[in-house]
Amino acid sequence: MKEPHERHIVALGGGGFSDEPDNPLLDDYILSLTGKSTPKVCFVPTASGDSPVYVTRFGESFPPARAEAVPLALFHRTIEDLRAFVLSQDVVYVGGGNTVNMLAVWRAHGLDTILRAAWEAGVILCGTSAGALCWFEGGTTDSMGTGLAPLHDGLGFLPGSFCPHYDSELERRPTYRKFVADGLPGGYAADDGVGLHFQGTQLVEAVSSRPAAQAFQVKQVVVAQMRLIG
């Protein structure tokens, strides 16, 4: 019987090459999981509308000596066989931006089901902000307007919810706690500079590129009420 592949997801609350171009610790951690000296890394910039600036920054952060890096554009798609391309990678790295729009575009192209197949085949999935939130059932997003809103239709590879930017955006912490109290599945929150490493669906390690950055588990607290009689 064929042995199952290890499944890895690394969800960054913020940081990586997007926010810390001079601090490669989180990205180095992700690359180390491949066990290869120059792994194949695919960058998916859908959430930013395939921003050319973002793609250029990715290329500069992953030069040939570090990785075999290539972007996957969907707004001006040139790759016909998405499944073969994605499954040939060692790492799929998803950038930040608008989570809601990104998920809609992925589903239109069938990339959502391809990413699940890649995960199950052992391709390491990772990303920052929108690229971290997407792997969970839901979480907090600013994709719907000027404020934060609950997201309920993430890919669901990981159970529960996620909140990025827990320390850098003032409303993230109280709003996420309120959403969970109101019924959003509990889950995890990560400061900028923190990565949550899941093997399968279990959190196995939290790593940080900043001394004071932290990760949190957020759960709904149910308070039992007593009925007085007599």
Angle at 124 between CA 165 and CA 206, to 5 degrees: 45
Indicate if 129 belongs to the active site.
yes
Tell the burial category of 219 from Cβ atoms under 10 Å away from its Cβ (0-12, 13-18, 19+): exposed
Sheet holding 124-128: strands in order across? 68-71, 40-44, 91-94, 124-128, 8-12, 194-199, 202-208
CA distance linking residue 26 with residue 88, whole number of Å: 23
Q: Which of 129, 143, 208, 209 is catalytic?
A: 129
Indicate if 8 belongs to the active site.
no
| Residue ranges with strand state E in the chain | 8-12, 40-44, 68-71, 91-94, 124-128, 136-141, 149-151, 158-163, 187-190, 194-199, 202-208, 215-218
Q: Which of 161, 165, 197, 208 is catalytic?
A: 165
What single DSSP character describes residue 130?
H
Asked if 47 contacts 19 with a C-beta cutoff of 8 angstroms, the reply is no
Catalytic residue numbers, as ranges: 129, 165
